[in-house]
Amino acid sequence: MAGQRGKLDDRSSRQDGAYRAAKASGFAARAVFKLQEIDRRFHLLAPGRRVLDLGSWPGSWMQYSAQRVGESGLVVGFDLRPSELALPSWVHSRIADVMTLDCDALLAEFGHFDVVLSDMAPHTTGDRLSDQYRSEQLCERALEIARVTLRRGGHFVAKVFQGGGFPALIGSVRAAFLESKPVHAEATRAGSREQYLVGRGHRTGGSTVRLPPVEPSG
Ligand SMILES: C[S@@+](CC[C@H](N)C(=O)[O-])C[C@H]1O[C@@H](n2cnc3c(N)ncnc32)[C@H](O)[C@@H]1O
């Protein structure tokens, strides 16, 4: 079972070099390198942008996003667990189950977002099919929230453990965004079935924006 789990998710280990590198740079988790890689490739974050981060604990994506958007931006993170980090004033870290998150209340409080991120992962059991299914449900929920809370032209990134529902998820992202791509981040452990679905240019929502060019896919 442990072997199956190792191939499905991408849990950090205190012996892991990437974990130590993240800590040495002041980030809470090695997951920061995945967002950094995706951001550099797809140009998602920029000063002043407003970011919703689903599954935000322990907080490295909130830390990285906060640096990228700066104090003129906004980062709102939700997780089942509270973040213990001292975060800048433009970061709001909340405890909530994203499956039951009230999007109307979220919009009333913060307005629309420029970027929705999800690094949500289920607590893995070792039963690969059920873990993949629950991961796909979380990804689907992240997309549902993005469709309601993103402005027109906004961007989306969501993690998923690749299983039987993966092609349908890719289709849903393609339908909602002008550009879409599944990405296996280089910072992900070798052999992991973890993928990130990236969507750029939300087709519906508020005012239209011009997208900067995306580098050729690698
Ligand atoms: C891989 S961690 C996120 C790491 C984070 N991106 C970072 O950089 O520190 C996945 C997180 O998803 C959260 N999660 C899973 N299901 C959730 C749900 N239904 N609602 C909120 N958070 C959830 C877990 O609690 C866990 O903290």
Q: What is the 3-state secondary structure (H, E, C) of the chain?
A: CHHHHHHHCCCCCCCCHHHHHHHHCCCCCCCHHHHHHHHHHHCCCCCCCEEEEECCCCCHHHHHHHHHHCCCCEEEEEECCCCCCCCCCCEEEEECCHHHCCHHHHHHHHCCEEEEEECCCCCCCCCHHHHHHHHHHHHHHHHHHHHHHEEEEEEEEEEEECCCCHHHHHHHHHHHEEEEEEECCCCCCCCCCEEEEEEEEECCCCCCCCCCCCCCCC
Q: What is the pLDDT of residue 4?
A: 39
CATH code for the part of the protein at 2-202:
3.40.50.150
Q: Which residues of the chain have pLDDT under 70?
A: 1-15, 206-218
List 7, 34, 159, 181, catalytic entry: 159
| Residue identifier of the C-alpha nearest atom 27 of ligand 1 | 57
Q: What is the pLDDT of residue 6?
A: 45
For residue 22 and ligand 1, the question of a CB distance below 6 A is answered with no
Q: What is the pLDDT of residue 205?
A: 78
Q: What is the pLDDT of residue 1?
A: 33
Q: What is the pLDDT of residue 5?
A: 42
